[in-house]
Structure 1
């Protein structure tokens, strides 16, 4: 193998690495400027301060808590030792902690799939719409459901006239399993795995908002591609919160509130991200049509 060929390969590898580094830096900068990572935290405080938003959660509290406790306990009893035995070979002493993170992530996935598809779909939909109503965004909500004139933000919600969030996609499960081996890489692999799950989680947080906006698939894709960093940042923080045992169900609702607060800011053009990029999105949407 000639030295020229080796130098060419090394040069190409350095070029690709630089491109990836520059792209990652841009995504991080976009996420930092948008402040999207703060919305899951804002959602917690907003939820606690607005008792009307508690109603959908309280109506499902007992069955979801039972589900959460059952899943987390079962996962630790039946899978902790086998997974620890595998991870200890690659993570060493740190396997005690990385196995816990892995099981919490797995439990979160199972709980979310079961609860959001069979138990919480209507409650989470009401929480998202109710938050928008409480933020004076009733106009956009009226595009997807009937609204009543009196009562608090939840009491004003009437019959849904547009189908709610889509159910769990098999692609999400395939993607989860595909990247699961990353946890064999000590510490860094687990972090990358959570970031990947966060990005996937972030891409779905505004499904209801896009639906209310009547955006086509191409418009949604254009918006998400322009704001990859912000949505990945939101999704990562939301994922970490939903990994907390038992409290994951509570954080599912507060994350929904946070996503609705973000949508309300975008809708009102209060957010710098929206003001700076909305014209570009409109142009892309026109071209797509």
Structure 2
């Protein structure tokens, strides 16, 4: 009887593993086809080669650098040893590295909460809209703000007609704290933790684009569910880049540019919510369940 029970458990485990593998294949296929993983790097190149987009960044760089340096220094001075003492029991010698990664992630999260709510919101919005204008996506931008004449994409941005990016929510903070214990699992736990953060981050990168498209909450949810792989990949790379001390503000702007470039490409393809790729991916995901 026990052998039969073990056999049933093993068969069920294999079935679950097969289902998860099929779902992973769909997600990876989505990510690979969309090329979403390239957009954070495209954002770096595009931002550094288009000086007109530097104005919002230049206006916020000093206060944000000061905030980043202060938070990171505080976290290392006052939380490194206590967290190392805990992680060393589960991670052994690797705790030296995993604690550093954990503190960088914690510092990045704290800086993001403060800066995106009080320092960078308007500057990132201008960068996103300005990139769309630079890519000649004027029609979609005009849905959310007035546009002036001229050749400078940032100077062309006028009065905002629709409220900007959504701010950091308490739910996101609660989710972050909930998954912190994953870091107790050596290496793999830290990687999973960053992937979860990347998935959460990915869901917000096109908030402004969805707003400009006038998509409802259900439309946004369907689109994101159909492109989980793409947005998780983008969000994970963006999260890792913004964990880099001091340079995090630079990557916050380049990631915003990358998200806008992605949105511009989607707009050029005239992507629709209810047809084509999104519908096919939903069907493929359902078959994998």
TM-score w.r.t. structure 2 length? Answer: 0.93
Structure 1 runs of 4+ off > 6 angstroms?
A: none
1:16-53 residue CA offsets vs partner (Å, 9 max, x unmatched) = 12111221222122212211011000000100011111
1:11 partnered with 2:11? yes
Number of matched pairs: 281
Find the aligned partners of 2:89 and 2:270 in 1 and give their Cα distance: 50
TM-score by length of 1: 0.93
Out of 19-28 and 97-106, give the one that drifted further.
19-28
Task: Compute the displacement of 1:280 (Å).
Answer: 5.6
Contact 1:269-1:275 within 8 A present in 2 as well: no
**Partner residue of 1:228?**
228
Distance 1:278 1:193, change over 3 A: closer
Q: Does structure 1 retain, via aligned residues, the 8 Å contact 2:226–2:278? A: no
How is 1:71-82 mapped onto 2 (pairs within 5 angstroms)?
71-82=71-82
The 3-state SS of whatever aligns with 1:180 is helix
CA 1:253–1:21 in structure 2 vs 1: closer, same or farther (change >3 Å)? same
Structure 2, gaps ≥5 residues long: 282-289
Residue matched to 2:174? 174
User: RMSD of the TM alignment (CA)?
Assistant: 1.9
How is 1:45-84 mapped onto 2 (pairs within 5 angstroms)? Answer: 45-84=45-84
Stretch moving more, 167-176 or 19-28: 19-28
CA contact (8 A) 2:227 2:278 kept: no
Aligned match of 2:201: 201
Matches within 5 A, 1:25-174: 25-174=25-174
Number of the residue aligned with 1:237: 237
Q: CA shift at 1:227, angstroms?
A: 0.4
Question: 1:158 aligns to what SS in structure 2?
Answer: strand
Which string of whole-angstrom CA distances, capped at 9 and with x for unpartnered residues, describes residues 99-124 of structure 1? 11000000000000000011110000
Give the match's secondary structure for 1:38: helix
Contact kept? 1:52, 1:153, Cα under 8 Å: yes
SS at 1:146's partner residue? strand
Contact 1:146–1:158 (CA<8 Å) still a contact in 2? yes
Residues 238-257 of structure 1 aligned to structure 2 (within 5 Å): 238-257=238-257
* Cα distance in structure 2, aligned partners of 1:102 and 1:279: 38
Task: Give ranges in structure 1 of 5+ residues lacking alignment.
Answer: 282-289
